[in-house]
Amino acid sequence: MKEKFYITTPIYYPSRKFTLGNCYTTVICDAVSRFNKILDKDVFFMTGTDEHGQKIAQAAKDAGMTEMQYLDGMIADAKDLWALLKIEYDKFIRTTDDYHVKSAQKIFRDLYDKGYIYKSSYQGKYCVPCESFWTESQLIEGKCPDCNRDVIDQEEEAYFFKLSEFGDKLLDLYEKNPEFLKPQSRVNEMVTNFIKPGLSDLCVTRTSVKWGIPVDFDPKHTIYVWIDALSNYITGLGYGTEDDSNYKKYWPANVHIIGKEIVRFHAIIWPAILMALDIPLPKRIFGHGWMLFGGDKLSKSKTVASCECTDPRILIPRYSSDAVRYILLREIPFGSDGNYTTELFLNRINSDLANNYGNLVSRTFSMLKKYKGSIVPSFDESTEEEIDKELKEVVAKSIVDTKNYIESNFDVSKALSSVFDIFSKANKYIEVTEPYRLAKDETKSSRLNTVLRNLLESIRIGTIMLSAFLPDCSKKVLDSLHIQNYSYSDVETFYYLNEGDSVDELGILFPRLDVQKELETLAEIQKQV
């Protein structure tokens, strides 16, 4: 039986169109999911949308639509974006889906029946026009952070979850299970900032928010976002419904990958809810850092210079989904914050995709055509030199390292960099072995064969690993080599291609860009949007 692997993104708020920041987490999860498929695991990858709450109701109102009209449009747009980015999810959950609503209600009722939820009253700062409660710390200079108007002290009846009972259990969890929350810095943050000072019970319903899932035994209350949202990770598998086969098969999740600002909800509230329900905990929560745009988490136009383009709907059609996936996966050290600029993106396309990988493939394929009629040549290990061993060592190291980076820490950035070690080394191998010179000397024919074969096999191995990260260009290269189905065991054999097979021609994978000109064109395009 195949090993199971269940991975999730956060479910995003569709109160605005998804940004490059949402693409960041989703592409990481997609790459990890694809990589695990290559490792021959039985993978389930879920993403979706978090569709309740005041913000969504307001956005729909502003757009002059009903909530569902508004949401259906936003979700169609989100799915188009994921298709453009080649995101291969197994399930897209919407928290307005029927099965989710019923199952979230059951979760709430079970928590109530077990005595973990009780009725009391909620006191907070209330903005009457926005119909929103705020905590003291959310106010900006004492006023509503949304509309900047005065707030009043208000009390409303509400249900509370006994989060305060879980402090010690959570400390115990982090201590006994150091893999549960990564990176380690996030554990320190949870312990010092939240658990040690003492957890308060959590308000989990609102009577003032109408756009939410009603508590089935007290319907004037709606379930306040976090119980609704977090439970998606199990309701999406069918938990609490008639068909819970996916829940039985895939839960507990191998990992929830999320941004660092929602670690508190995932590493404190979610395990507490699961413990209360006697449900096993996810194996790992990874809180990654932020992609920063001009120092800001959101690509708001006011903080980003006019030559900056952060709209994936412009970038993907213009530069390919692979190019956008590449910058997202590679540029930001996984776990930390990192800056994105359009110039950096364009330079990466040139240096890594066009000059390194693209150039390697195009040089190798054109030499193969010129000297060997595009036929996979034989190899003769007796003609091998030191540089051949070095190349094979780099390949062997990358095979081990890439898998380790993904399996031990989901570190897509290091994994991708390790795959590119093969391409850099193979380009150097061409410089050192000079196949164009060998071709001029008939006595070197066998050596030329070996050199070209070693290049082809290095490209094959690197490209199979690359296919988890950049599926489109890898498919083109693997198609030329007539490789359709593959798994990680195929990269572990260096000589794998059949001698005498033909290799199909391949166009340019990544055209080189004039960065300055592109920046100007993007600025123009943005002016028109």
Sign of the C-alpha dihedral computed for residues 297, 301, 303 and 309 taken in this order: positive
Q: In terms of CB distance, is 14 or 435 closer to ligand ME8?
A: 14
Per CB under 6 A, does 11 bind ligand ME8?
A: yes
Write the binding mask 172 to 211 for ligand ME8: x where contact by CB under 6 A, - elsewhere.
----------------------------------------
Q: In terms of CB distance, is 332 or 452 closer to ligand ME8?
A: 332
> Residues touching ligand ME8: how many (CB under 6 A)?
20
Structure tokens at 319: 């530069």
Q: Which listed range, 14-22, 145-153, 176-184, 434-442, lies at the site for ligand ME8 (CB under 6 A)?
A: 14-22
Q: In terms of CB distance, is 22 or 474 closer to ligand ME8?
A: 22
Q: Which listed range, 11-19, 39-47, 194-202, 319-327, lies at the site for ligand ME8 (CB under 6 A)?
A: 11-19
Q: In terms of CB distance, is 11 or 104 closer to ligand ME8?
A: 11
Between the alpha carbon of residue 302 and those of residues 15, 21, 427, the distances in Å are: 19, 17, 42
Between the alpha carbon of residue 522 and those of residues 138, 293, 306, 312, 330, the distances in Å are: 37, 16, 9, 12, 22
Q: Give rounded-to-5 percent helix, strand, coil for the chain.
A: 55, 15, 30
For residues 362 and 93, what is the distance between their CA atoms, to the nearest angstrom? 41
Per CB under 6 A, does 235 bind ligand ME8?
A: no
Instruction: Give the nearest distance from C-beta 336 to ligand ME8 in angstroms.
Output: 11
- Identify the CA nearest to 49 among candidates 84, 77, 29, 20: 77
For residues 190 and 185, what is the distance between their CA atoms, to the nearest angstrom? 9
Of 5, 6, 13, 180, the one binding ligand ME8 (CB under 6 A) is 13
Q: In terms of CB distance, is 132 or 359 closer to ligand ME8?
A: 132
- Whether the Cβ atoms of residue 464 and residue 486 lie closer than 8 Å to each other: yes
For residues 8 and 91, what is the distance between their CA atoms, to the nearest angstrom? 10
Prior bond of 183 cis (ω within 30°): yes
H or E stretch including 58?
A: helix 54-62
The secondary structure of 139-204 as a DSSP string is: -BTTB-TTT--B-EEEEEEEEEE-GGGGHHHHHHHHHH-TTSEESHHHHHHIIIIIITT-PPPEE-
Residue listed under structure tokens 């070690």: 421
- Identify the CA nearest to 279 among candidates 233, 225, 245: 233
Write the binding mask 257 to 286 for ligand ME8: x where contact by CB under 6 A, - elsewhere.
-xx-xx------------------------
Instruction: Give the nearest distance from C-beta 501 to ligand ME8 in angstroms.
Output: 43
Per CB under 6 A, does 334 bind ligand ME8?
A: no
User: Residues 58 to 97: which contact ligand ME8 by CB under 6 A?
Assistant: none
- Whether the Cβ atoms of residue 126 and residue 132 lie closer than 8 Å to each other: yes
Instruction: Give the nearest distance from C-beta 75 to ligand ME8 in angstroms.
Output: 13
Between the alpha carbon of residue 389 and those of residues 383, 438, 451, the distances in Å are: 11, 19, 12
Give the CB-nearest residue to ligand ME8: 21
Write the binding mask 281 to 300 for ligand ME8: x where contact by CB under 6 A, - elsewhere.
---------xx-----x---
- Whether the Cβ atoms of residue 81 and residue 63 lie closer than 8 Å to each other: no
Instruction: Give the nearest distance from C-beta 91 to ligand ME8 in angstroms.
Output: 14
Q: In terms of CB distance, is 6 or 12 closer to ligand ME8?
A: 12
Q: Which listed range, 211-219, 225-233, 341-349, 517-525, lies at the site for ligand ME8 (CB under 6 A)?
A: 225-233
Instruction: Give the nearest distance from C-beta 296 to ligand ME8 in angstroms.
Output: 8
Instruction: Give the nearest distance from C-beta 394 to ligand ME8 in angstroms.
Output: 32
- Identify the CA nearest to 509 among candidates 386, 333, 363, 378: 363
- List contacts with ligand ME8 (CB under 6 A): 10-13, 19, 21-22, 24-25, 50, 229-230, 232, 258-259, 261-262, 290-291, 297
